[in-house]
Each structure stands twice: as structure tokens, then as C-alpha cells.
Amino acid sequence: MKQTSVISFRENRQHGSPKYPCAFYQAKSSLWPFSAPFQTKHHWHEELEIIHFRKGQFHLEINMQKYEISGECFCFVGSGELHYIYSREDFEEQAFVFSLSGLSFAESDPVQAQIIRPLLDGELSLPAVITCGDPCFEEIRQAFSDLCAAFPGTIPHTVHQDQYTLSNTAQYLRVKISLYRIFLALTENGLLSDAASGSGPDRRISTIKKALSYMKEHAGEKIYVQDIAAQVNMNGQYFCRFFKKMIGKSPIEYLTELRIKNACELLQDTDLTVMEVCLECGFNNLGNFMNAFRKYCGCTPRQYRKSK
């Protein structure tokens, strides 16, 4: 394995390539290491995301709105929306992340003017959840299945892969056609709605984003709750209550999970020793690191490395 710096893991993730700006992701409990739960930490990106919950129970949050998923459904995450997913066991999930600008037209066009441009400008909103009871569910499911098939290696799903990408224009054309079919189904069923106006952005979400960004950037350093609270102009005690109400866990719990996530990536992608990973990820004590790793991953760092 090639040794790389922990700094590379703090950059914004590239979904796909500049030529084909989209990527496909899959998660399946039978391919997950040990007893680790499926979890995507609170994050956001400029791209749109379509999530297909195929099997299992999931806890989903989009801009602090909570959803308990217990059956097959599709979820749409808009640009810049803070979102989080968690599932404990027996899960199967797919996600497609894409740049909406890839569907834009160079010439004046009603679809561009009435759908694509308003979505890009935040004037139209996507539905949060489409369930099997919705009239357009089967149409979206078929289009999404065709979209999935455009990515090499997604069928059959027998090996965990970090990201599926496209390699030629024919594949990208298949993806774009499938996306237009999905937007057609949403449009025909009146599921693209005017974005709420007049209320302005939720300051709580912008505050949380600022705190999360600071924690991610400084996760490898020795930081205190007061340091994070100062970034959002709050005192430490009030910030702890605010953070736990919004995220569902304390800042220290969240920071520890973030450090463990970074440790998992280093164990998988570098030749750093366990002690070096411990120090790179902000743990000053190997015993504390080992205990935290077992708690969140259900195994030791060495066992995790061997399983990947």
C-alpha cells in the first residue's frame, strides 16, 4: 500500500471525474467488515444525490429533518443539504451523486428554463422521499436500475468498492437518459415544488456546518470544545447543548467518531503503523485509541486492516 498523508483525506471528495461528473455507491451488510454499522456522517456537497434504500431499516436526516426508513424507497438530497444516514444491520443501499449542470442545455429550452435552471438556482425543490405507494415509484425504480447498470461492476454486487465511475461517453449518455426519465416522472406527478421563500436560510444549519467543517479540518490536532464553540461565537456549555440537540450526540462523541473514520481510511490506504495512525488522527494515547476503535468498529485496527 502506498503511504500518503492524512491531509489528503480532508479534501472535498471528487464524485466521478471532471469529464464524467457523477459517481455511484453501494452498501450491503453482508459485505461490511465485522459488526460495524453503516453510517455516513453529517456532510453536504454541491452535487445532488439520489438514494435508493433497497432493504433494511435506516435513520435518515436531511437538514435536521428526521426520517425513519423501514421499506424500499428513494430519497432526494439537494445541493448543500446537510444529511446523515445510519443503519445497524441487514441493510442494502445505493446512492448516485451527480452534478445537475451536466443536464443543462446550451440553447434556450423549456426544460432548461422551467426545470433545470430553477433547480440549479434553488427555486425548485425535490421531494425528500418517494415510497412504493407513490404513483411514480415503479417508473423511478426502473430508471434508477438502468442508471445503475451503466456503471461497470455494480451488477452483481459481490465485492465492496468505494466508488463506481464511468469510463466512456456511451455509459454517461445512458446515465443522462435515466436521469431525464426520473425528472420526467417527478414532473408529470407534480413532485417538483417551489422552494420555500421568505424564510431565509436556517441559521442553525449554517452554524452546524461551520462547526463540523472546523472539526473535520482539525480532527488530527488536540482541540477542545471551547475551540469549536469559539468558531460559532458560543460559550462551551451552550454549544454542547445546541450541538447534541442538532446532531444527536455530544461534540466529543462526534469528534471521536470522525477520528475513527479517518483512522479506518489510513489503515486501508497507507502503510502507517497502528501507533502512527493513532497519532495522525488526534489520539495521544494508544490505549484510548484502541478502546474507541473497538467501540465504533467492533474489531481492532489490525483486524480491520486485514479485512479490507
Percentage, residues of the chain above pLDDT 70 = 92
pLDDT at 198: 46
Residue 151 has pLDDT above 60, yes or no: yes
* 253/39 Cα distance (integer angstroms): 14
The cell numbers describing 44, all together, are 453536504
The predicted model scores a pTM of 0.84
CATH topology of domain 15-194: Jelly Rolls (2.60.120)
pLDDT digits (tens, 9 = 90+) for 218-233: 999 999 999 999 999 9
Residue 97 has pLDDT above 90, yes or no: yes
pLDDT digits (tens, 9 = 90+) for 99-118: 999 999 877 789 999 999 99
Q: In the structure, what pLDDT confidence band is assigned to residue 196 with cuts at 50, 70 and 90?
A: low
pLDDT digits (tens, 9 = 90+) for 39-71: 888 999 999 999 999 999 999 999 989 999 999
What are residue 73's DSSP bridge partners? Answer: 53, 131
Q: In the structure, what pLDDT confidence band is assigned to residue 5 with cuts at 50, 70 and 90?
A: very low
Mean of the per-residue pLDDT values for the chain? 89
Of 24-33, 62-71, 252-261, the least confident: 24-33
Which residue ranges does the chain devote to CATH 2.60.120.280?
Answer: 15-194
Which residue ranges does the chain devote to CATH 1.10.10.60?
Answer: 203-307
Q: Does domain 203-307 have CATH number 2.60.40.10?
A: no
The cell numbers describing 56, all together, are 433494511
Residue 4 has pLDDT above 50, yes or no: no
125: CB partners within 8 A, 6+ apart: 78, 192, 193, 194, 195, 196
The cell numbers describing 58, all together, are 435506516
For the segment 14-39, the average pLDDT, to the nearest whole number, is 85
